[in-house]
């Protein structure tokens, strides 16, 4: 009897462990030199020319991003229902309202061709989410934003590394991009996130607001060799700074980002090949020359599967394999549904996809046998029909 294969696992090596130990021995537990290095490395990863601001989650990063671009009470922010609740909850933190636009019928991403019809006088920003690590149609989204003078904040929690028209997400013409290093993401620090921007004023505001609204940068305050007791509070900021312990992990995870991606791509290729004749719709792919991060591998059961999604997941669990569902669309959660009187008919694509999606395990710690086990289990479960 083999052990249970979890849906996701982080891939932490000796380099990460040694760096954490080094941080512990150094006495820098909270934000300090390792975090500064992680930020510099992250900016370099994206080719420089951006500022990277480390935070303790992507949720914190999205909140700071919206605060920095001036989102406030009564404003509207366009986003997708096909995401984790973080993307929309941060809009509510600031008293603004999410406006949900249905997803594209071929991808799981916001339907960029519909975005403009939702723009009103109150629309201040758009938050596209690169679902699973497949880039949104950013040219269309950026064009609408430019035309109506709206900001764009990319939720790139799944999108490291993702390329759109040959460019890494994080280097496009949006205002801010936010990454997550939550335990299950493509690079992981347990909890953690990164804000990326080319706008110096936005970067400055995010740095101030991530640590209580203190006017001096956190690094000056903690690492200055001069007496550093004096500071001034210029706003009621937040406690969103990333610890050096987490950054120690992040520094080494980032170095492996492309190697990790190669592994994920290999798993995706093997799944594609193994499942092509089964009654499932395979996940959409990136365009030629672009990169899908393969944070998620989402299949859709077709009518030919003659099986409910929930049964499929239960049968996989019976065979010792963890699956998941990305996502229960936000319009189906009580808070969002009731607050904004959302109906499934407003989001036909998201609603329909939700019923037959299954996320299969795809992570770098999977061995060849693990991958074969998943393939065999999927075939057996669907063979029964």
Ligand X SMILES: *Cc1c(COP(=O)(O)O)cnc(C)c1O
Binding site for ligand X (CB under 6 A): 57-59, 83-84, 86-87, 129, 155, 157-158, 180, 182, 193
Determine if residue 149 is left, alpha or beta; phi over 0 gives left, psi from -120 to 50 gives alpha, anything else beta.
left
3-state secondary structure of 253: helix
Q: Is 9 exposed, middle or buried (0-12, 13-18, 19+ CB in 10 A)?
A: middle
End-to-end CA gap in the chain? 25
Chain mean position to CA 283? 17
CB of 93 to ligand X, least distance (A): 13
Q: Which is nearer to ligand X, 86 or 351 (CB)?
A: 86
Q: Which is nearer to ligand X, 292 or 315 (CB)?
A: 292
What gap in Å lies between CA 169 and CA 175, rounded to an integer? Answer: 12
Q: Which is nearer to ligand X, 129 or 381 (CB)?
A: 129
Catalytic residues, which ones?
185
CB of 179 to ligand X, least distance (A): 8
Q: Which is nearer to ligand X, 107 or 180 (CB)?
A: 180
Q: Is 38 exposed, middle or buried (0-12, 13-18, 19+ CB in 10 A)?
A: buried
Q: How many other C-beta atoms can be found within 10 angstroms of the C-beta atom of residue 2?
A: 10
Residue 329's nearest CA partner among 350, 345, 309, 348 is 350
Chain mean position to CA 259? 19
CB 94 within 8 A of CB 72: yes
DSSP H/E element including 244 = helix 244-255
CB of 57 to ligand X, least distance (A): 3
Q: Which is nearer to ligand X, 315 or 353 (CB)?
A: 353
CB of 308 to ligand X, least distance (A): 25
CB of 84 to ligand X, least distance (A): 4
């Amino acid at each position: 009897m083999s052990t249970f294969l979890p849906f996701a696992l982080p891939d932490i090596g000796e380099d990460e462990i040694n760096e954490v130990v080094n941080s512990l021995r150094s006495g820098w537990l909270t934000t300090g030199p390792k975090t500064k290095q992680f930020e510099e490395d992250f900016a370099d990863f994206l080719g420089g020319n951006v500022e990277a601001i480390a935070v303790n989650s992507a949720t914190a990063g999205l909140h700071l991003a919206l605060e920095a671009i001036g989102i406030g009470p009564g404003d509207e922010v366009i986003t997708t229902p096909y995401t984790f609740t973080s993307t929309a909850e941060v809009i509510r933190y600031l008293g603004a309202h999410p406006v949900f636009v249905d997803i594209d019928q071929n991808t799981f991403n916001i339907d960029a061709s519909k975005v403009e019809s939702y723009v009103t006088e109150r629309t201040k920003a758009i938050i596209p989410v690169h679902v699973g690590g497949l880039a949104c149609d950013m040219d269309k989204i950026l064009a609408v934003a430019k035309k109506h003078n709206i900001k764009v904040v990319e939720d790139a929690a799944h999108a490291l590394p993702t390329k759109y028209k040959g460019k890494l997400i994080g280097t496009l013409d949006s205002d801010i991009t936010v990454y997550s290093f939550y335990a299950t993401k493509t690079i992981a620090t347990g909890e953690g996130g990164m804000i990326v921007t080319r706008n110096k004023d936005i970067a400055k505001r995010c740095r101030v607001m991530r640590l209580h609204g203190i006017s001096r940068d956190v690094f000056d305050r903690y690492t200055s060799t001069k007496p550093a007791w004096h500071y001034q509070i210029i706003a009621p900021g937040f406690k969103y700074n990333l610890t050096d312990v987490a950054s120690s992990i992040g520094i080494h995870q980032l170095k492996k980002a492309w190697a990790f991606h190669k592994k994920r791509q290999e798993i995706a290729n093997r799944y594609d090949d193994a499942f092509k004749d089964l009654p499932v719709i395979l996940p959409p792919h990136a365009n030629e020359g672009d990169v899908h991060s393969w944070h998620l591998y989402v299949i859709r059961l077709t009518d030919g599967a003659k099986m409910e999604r929930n049964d499929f997941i239960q049968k996989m669990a019976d065979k010792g394999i963890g699956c998941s569902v990305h996502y229960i669309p936000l319009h189906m959660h009580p808070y969002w549904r009731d607050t904004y009187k959302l109906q499934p008919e407003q989001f036909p694509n998201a609603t329909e996809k939700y019923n037959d999606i299954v996320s299969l395990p795809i992570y770098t710690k999977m061995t060849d046998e693990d991958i074969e086990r998943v393939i065999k289990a999927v075939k057996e479960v669907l063979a029964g029909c």
